[in-house]
């Protein structure tokens, strides 16, 4: 298979996976880490498991802020 075509397929798959995750309310961990390091270089970064837990609680309203 053409290496250039393989790269395009991988990039398209990554974009589709990221889009589906965002539509389901699950932000991308790698983007979170990059943004955190750029804007808050001295702040601790959550592990991937902590990040997923935080996002699911935030999505369900378990972290407070919603009444129902």
Q: Which residue in this structure is represented by tokens 């250039």?
A: 4
In a domain, 66, yes or no: no
Q: What is the pLDDT of residue 19?
A: 81
- The pLDDT score that the predictor gives to residue 68 is 46
Structural domain includes residue 67: no
Task: Tell me whether residue 68 is in a domain.
Answer: no
Which pLDDT value is given to residue 52?
86
In a domain, residue 55? The reply is: yes
Q: Which domain holds residue 10?
A: 3-60
pLDDT digits (tens, 9 = 90+) for 4-63: 999 999 999 888 887 877 776 667 888 889 999 999 999 999 999 999 888 888 877 765
CA atoms within 13 A on the CB side of 41: 1
Into how many domains does the chain fold? Answer: 1
Does residue 49 fall inside a structural domain?
yes
**How much is the pTM?**
0.57
């Amino acid at each position: 298979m053409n290496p250039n075509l393989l790269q395009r397929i991988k990039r398209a798959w990554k974009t589709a996976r990221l889009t589906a995750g965002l539509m389901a309310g699950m932000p991308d961990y790698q983007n979170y880490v990059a943004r955190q390091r750029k804007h808050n270089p001295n702040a601790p970064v959550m592990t991937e498991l902590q990040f997923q837990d935080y996002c699911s609680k935030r999505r369900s309203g378990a972290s407070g802020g919603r009444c129902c």
